[in-house]
A and B are shown apart, each in its own frame.
Chain A
């Protein structure tokens, strides 16, 4: 069982340079996350949620403020910190099992243990029978499930999930939310989940962090003091959900679910 870590974010700010202009993306974000805590982050698209995760995972070191893990400044990436990116980022030349297996490439396990872990996690996301399939043969939802399996397979202390269930149908989504919660409770992993689904945020989180854009900052943190397993039809649950939703009343809802559509490469060809 991995020992979960305390994550301390203090006065974090981040800018990007866009054509000579400075674009503030995160402004003075502070958040303290206890070991084994589950934190949900919601906010309009463009308010810096993905950027925040990129900084915590250690892909960028050009920021102001502190990101401390158990009191130590994070330096670069680490196998203790896992991430599932917003896009599935599967390697198109690898099969499903090879893609999941890459997550274990540098894990401290024997080959047999690795094979078992890969098989277990493919089963976990319900893709038995697709072990040898290539990404081009999978739907968006299936690819996302492979990415979930890859993120979970080496059981990091801190796991960051960037809209992991966005492309899934309602039933698969509900099932994987439960499974994620089960693994979280069982392994004591610290989890940060970015989502545009307020119900999902309340269902899974110990706290829901509401962010606002331009520049990205924390608007409010809502506690979810409900025992698990939670009942979505419960009055207290609905009240908290309403409370979080009320933070968005001043902006059009569709901004929350804007997703780029992929273009078909042959659209510009003549049909003959």
Chain B
């Protein structure tokens, strides 16, 4: 071992020099902050334009209420509890629909990814099914299950199932043969291969599918609530429009956007944690 200690000290590949030179942490923090700040000018400009349009009445205030009016309406909706109630209902629907869709989508994707026979049976049908947007199924489903909760859950499930199944299938397909060969050299059983190689290797695309799936679920939810519901954020939008209360519409739209964004952020944070083995910096 003594011979080696000299080698170690002379070894030119020390950890700091190993990868491409990374900026010092403080600098990296600033650059991350700077990049985050770049997200702000555009929405602020839109807000300013909106304010100007309201102030100078470029658009009648019945059609485009001022930001202050919308903020006031938002506060009213909050105080009356309407906003929280409708948000809770919408979130509950997404939770159930997404859970069902994600589970089914994952199972379907794994089945098609692992068994060529299953893939040959199901893939063409699945692709065709996926081409019809969630709302295209609405009329048919309304006849079959009515316009109650089941309708919404099914449509949300469908919306999240498609990207998750597709990405899971593609992820399993693209596991590099070099990795499979290594597992063969060490005589992994089928289960060990799945557990130690295939699933971890396919995890990034699968997780991508989950993120798409949740976004699609949220979009489908608002869509179906717009068309067939008497509760929820989507309903709030329709309701506001019917009463010509565009401030209610806009307040609900902002909440829908903010929650959709927040849901994706949650998944992004989990992703960063689970995929910390990937090269940092994106």
Contact = CB atoms under 8 A, between A and B. Distances in A.
Nearest to A167: B13
A169 B200 contact: no
Given A126-B8, A142-B13, A175-B7, A137 B186 contact: no
A92 B200 CA distance: 9
Contacts of B18: 137-139, 142
A267 to B, nearest CB: 12
A16 interface: no
Interface string B257-282: 00000000000000000001111000
A263 to B, nearest CB: 13
A24 to B, nearest CB: 22
Given A136-B277, A175-B4, A93 B200 contact: yes
A83 B182 CA distance: 9
A14 B162 CA distance: 44
Interface string B160-176: 00000000000000000
B271 to A, nearest CB: 13
Contacts of B178: 85, 87, 89
A106 interface: yes
Contacts of A172: 7, 11
A102 B186 contact: yes
Given A126-B4, A137-B15, A105 B186 contact: yes
Interface string B197-213: 10011010000000000
A93 B195 CA distance: 12
Nearest to B9: A171
Interface stretch (A74-82, A111-119, A204-212): A74-82
Given A59-B184, A79-B187, A87-B178, A169 B15 contact: no
Contacts of A248: none
B196 A171 contact: no
Q: Which of A77, A82, A138 has the most chain B CB atoms closer than 10 A to its own CB?
A: A77
A169 B4 CA distance: 13
Given A91-B200, A93-B200, A139-B13, A106 B7 contact: no
Nearest to B17: A139
A105 B187 CA distance: 9
Contacts of B17: 139
A103 B179 contact: no
B123 interface: no
Contacts of B278: 92, 136
A172 B3 CA distance: 11
Nearest to B178: A89
A138 B19 CA distance: 7
Contact of B187 (A77, A136, A142): A77
Contacts, number: 84
Interface residues of A, number: 35
A249 to B, nearest CB: 33
A94 B181 CA distance: 17
B13 A103 contact: no
A169 B9 CA distance: 13
A202 interface: no
B185 interface: yes
Given A92-B278, A102-B196, A175-B4, A169 B186 contact: no
Contacts of B189: 106
Q: Which of B18, B178, B188, B196 has the most chain A CB atoms closer than 10 A to its own CB?
A: B18
A137 B7 CA distance: 20
Interface of B: 3-4, 6-8, 10-13, 15, 17-19, 178-179, 181-182, 184-189, 192, 196-197, 200-201, 203, 276-279
Given A91-B196, A172-B7, A175-B4, 4 more contacts: A76-B184, A92-B277, A94-B200, A142-B18
6 A-B pairs with the lowest CB-CB distances in the bound complex, closest first: A139-B13, A139-B18, A134-B277, A93-B277, A93-B200, A136-B279
7 contacts: A91-B179, A94-B200, A137-B18, A139-B17, A142-B18, A169-B12, A171-B10
Interface of A: 57, 59, 76-79, 82-83, 85, 87, 89, 91-94, 102-103, 105-106, 126, 130, 133-139, 141-142, 169, 171-172, 175, 178
